[in-house]
């Protein structure tokens, strides 16, 4: 018999029903599965893996400017007049700065003050990705940066959504970027016992969300950028609409620096707030793109939280984690996976969870192990995207099939 972990007041407010509608009109990706939205998506739904073994201590960085250019082209939105530039903002964050840059600059300082680059400070500020995009395209709307560990990308999308819904602007370029892989970062996360180490010779098998043999996450790099737009603004210019953003929820675990609350309260609160913000009922949700990084503790707690929140409706919900295919992009995880969630809605396909062979949790939830799954529903397709970060910060986004 289902027993809820946390009792949530499910009474809906009417506030969410009278706000401006926000839709997704453009997307861009640079990630381990490929460059370009369609390349990455096709690799994902065809059960390809972008995870490889690290052999070189000097790793190439994946700039968010590539993903931004694709997203703007996809949306057919590159404002030229001053009014449109002032009505377009940027919300892009990163999870962590380049640790190697800090170390090498400190070593340079030992050789003399003049050896320190005058660009060092701008390079390590977390808002510089948003600043660079704003400068390059002349965008004078809200300029915002989020840095909330592994929830960064989802928070950036959610904040951008609220800027538009609240009437501050009509268009937002949002998402996250991460170029985090270095020997120091790998060593640091290994010391936390957060990374997978059992499959070093079989990298494609290393990231295995929900599987009983999971032993930690695999770090990934990349960027994903979304163009969000006020609905009437998009309709007036006949923009292509991928999906609608319905709601956004945030919470704090308030328990531990790196571990989620054991009862899943933080995740439940984030999901509940997103659903209430969307003004819908839980029975409308049939797919959840989980945060599930492949850690022994986190994956199990998230599944219990989802089932607790969904209750008897759990049997109608499919849960998937795409991190089995591309690893954990830290600050760019929530936004990359949001793009895949949106494409799942658009294409009516639930992407697979790679390397899921033996589920170690008793649950009535459904899964898509190793191969894609058709998303069959008699009503509109509605999904949640979870993202959680160190420090106990949680975000949940609610996306839906766009209906006029």
Q: Which residues are catalytic?
A: 150, 291, 328
**Running DSSP on this structure, what letter comes out for residue 274?**
H
Q: From start to end of 108-262, where are the E strands?
A: 143-144, 171-178, 222-230, 243-252
CA separation for the pair 381, 158 (Å, rounded): 19
CA separation for the pair 216, 356 (Å, rounded): 14
Q: At 273, is the secondary structure helix, strand, or coil?
A: helix
CB neighbour class for 78 (10 Å; exposed up to 12, middle 13-18, buried from 19): middle
- The structure tokens listed for 291 are 């945060």
Cβ(367)–Cβ(210) below 8 Å:
yes
CA separation for the pair 223, 384 (Å, rounded): 20
CA separation for the pair 233, 230 (Å, rounded): 5
**Ordered DSSP codes for 144-184:** E----GGGHHHHHHHHHHHHHHTTS-SEEEEEEEE---SHH
Q: From start to end of 17-87, where are the E strands?
A: 22-31, 34-35
Cβ(12)–Cβ(214) below 8 Å:
no
Closest Cα partner for 396 from 256, 217, 264, 296? Answer: 264
Closest Cα partner for 45 from 344, 365, 296? Answer: 344
Q: What are the CA-CA distances from residue 183 to residues 59, 100, 191 (Å)? A: 9, 9, 12
Residue with tokens 């270095």: 182
**196-202: long-range contacts at Cβ-Cβ below 8 A with a sequence spacing of 24 or more?**
196/294, 200/53, 201/53
């Amino acid at each position: 018999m289902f027993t809820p972990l946390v009792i949530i007041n499910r009474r809906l407010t009417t506030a969410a029903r009278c706000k401006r509608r926000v839709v997704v009109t453009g997307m861009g990706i640079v990630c381990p599965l490929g460059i370009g939205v369609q390349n990455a998506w096709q690799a994902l739904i065809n059960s390809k893996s972008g995870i490889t073994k690290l052999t070189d201590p000097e790793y190439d960085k994946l700039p968010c400017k590539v993903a931004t250019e694709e997203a703007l082209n996809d949306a057919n939105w590159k404002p030229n007049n001053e009014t449109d530039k002032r009505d377009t903002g940027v919300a892009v964050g990163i999870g962590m700065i380049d640790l190697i840059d800090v170390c090498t600059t400190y070593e340079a300082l030992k050789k003399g003050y003049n050896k320190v680059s005058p660009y060092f400070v701008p390079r390590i500020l977390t808002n510089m990705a948003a600043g660079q995009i704003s400068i390059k395209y002349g965008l004078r709307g809200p300029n915002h940066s989020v840095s909330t560990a592994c929830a960064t990308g989802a928070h950036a999308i959610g904040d951008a959504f609220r800027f538009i819904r609240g009437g501050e602007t009509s268009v937002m370029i949002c998402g996250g970027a991460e170029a985090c892989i270095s020997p120091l970062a790998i060593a640091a996360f290994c010391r936390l016992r957060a990374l997978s180490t059992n499959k070093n010779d079989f990298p494609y098998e290393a990231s295995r969300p929900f599987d009983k043999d999971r032993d930690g996450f695999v770090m990934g790099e990349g960027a994903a950028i979304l163009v969000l737009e006020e609905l009437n603004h998009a309709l007036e210019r006949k923009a292509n609409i991928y999906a609608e953003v319905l709601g956004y929820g945030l919470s704090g675990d308030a328990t531990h620096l790196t571990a989620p609350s054991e009862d899943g309260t933080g995740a439940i609160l984030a999901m509940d707030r997103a659903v209430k913000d969307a003004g819908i009922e839980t029975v409308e949700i049939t797919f959840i793109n989980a945060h599930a990084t492949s850690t022994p503790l986190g994956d199990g707690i998230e599944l219990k939280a989802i089932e607790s929140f969904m209750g008897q409706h759990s049997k109608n919900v499919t849960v998937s984690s795409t991190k089995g295919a591309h690893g954990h992009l830290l600050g760019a995880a929530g936004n990359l996976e949001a793009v895949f969630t949106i494409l799942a809605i658009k294409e009516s396909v639930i992407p697979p969870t790679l390397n899921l062979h033996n589920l170690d949790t008793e649950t009535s939830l459904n899964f898509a192990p190793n191969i894609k799954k058709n998303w069959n529903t008699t009503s509109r397709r509605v999904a949640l995207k979870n993202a959680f970060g160190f420090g106990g910060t949680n975000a949940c986004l609610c996306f839906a099939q766009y209906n006029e």
